[in-house]
Structure 1
Amino acid sequence: MPAMLMASLLGTYLDLYFTGKGMYAFPTRPFSDIFTINILFTLAVLPIFMIPLLKIMESLKGWFRGMIVLAISVAMAAAEKMAESIGMFVHAENWHHLYTFIGYCLFIGLIAAFHGWMNGNHFKKPISTE
């Protein structure tokens, strides 16, 4: 639950920051008279998406975790491009989808690290049997 809350808050604040800077916009969004961001995505989709992702990452070790993060980040950049083509998302002229890829790598890594920290899984030393 804390990782879901963190994902929701971080996603919301990042969207508020980037829409405020004019880097992107959400032409089609719920409660468009009130919010400049797509709150459905930041308050529901993003945290719900993180549940299975964190469960999968818990079961993987080493570089497999990194591969999952890279794959999800590439998928999000592609999904963003599709959302643009159907009018759900608009970027500034100087936006590159590489920013999305790097952003999701950092976002997922941060949420996964927070999740591990909250669950006490950070920097565990192997138990010695000697």
Structure 2
Amino acid sequence: MKNTAKQWKKSSLPSLQKKQSSSERNKEQQAYIIAALLSSIIGSYLDLFFVGIGMYHFPMRLFPDIFTVNIAFTLLLLPVSVILFLYVANRLRFLSRCIMILGIGMAALFIESASEQLGWFVHHTDWNHAYSFFGYMLFFMIVWRVFRFFSS
């Protein structure tokens, strides 16, 4: 009589997890790149729009004679943050991921206020920081859906 142990469905032991094939890994890596590029494009165009209508501006930015937006944020910080978010979110369950996105929205409020105090960011008097709270939550939900679409 042969003794075999069954794996628990919720077991997370690395030796028992299904290994990803190289094509699945490539697909996931491409999804990270697509999501990062999309985030950079969305962030750049939203900044261009809001700077264009005068809702905010960036007094401190790279190449101020060329760019009206902070390209360090839209081309570096935002895509790196998105990749980090996707990496963590991909390992979370639905409720934890929702709480994480809610936390990102809350963090955006505080980071935006701190950026203003440091002189990196100036908002129009009509700006409401709740726009950033909901905007970043929506942004990260969209990026998550795009990532899942391209990685599945």
Matched, 1:33 2:52: no
- Alignment-derived partner of residue 51 in structure 2: 19
- Alignment-derived partner of residue 116 in structure 2: 84
Q: How does 1:46-61 map to 2 (within 5 A)?
A: 46-61=78-93
SS state at 1:4 partner: helix
Q: What letter is aligned with 2:82?
A: M
Q: What letter is aligned with 2:45?
A: Y
TM-score (norm. length: structure 2) = 0.78
- Alignment-derived partner of residue 42 in structure 1: 74
* Alpha-carbon shift at residue 99 of structure 1 (Å): 0.5
Matched, 1:69 2:101: yes
- Please provide the CA RMSD for this pair: 0.6
- Alignment-derived partner of residue 150 in structure 2: 118
Q: What letter is aligned with 2:68?
A: T
* Alpha-carbon shift at residue 35 of structure 1 (Å): 0.6
Distance in 1, Cα, partners of 2:104 & 2:44: 19
Q: What letter is aligned with 2:41?
A: L
Structure 2 gaps of 5+ residues are: 1-32
* Alpha-carbon shift at residue 52 of structure 1 (Å): 1.4
Per-residue CA deviation, residues 75-102 of structure 1 (Å, 9 max, x unaligned), is: 1110000000011000000111100000
TM-score (norm. length: structure 1) = 0.90
SS state at 1:59 partner: coil
Runs of 4+ more than 3 Å apart: none
Structure 1 gaps of 5+ residues are: 121-130
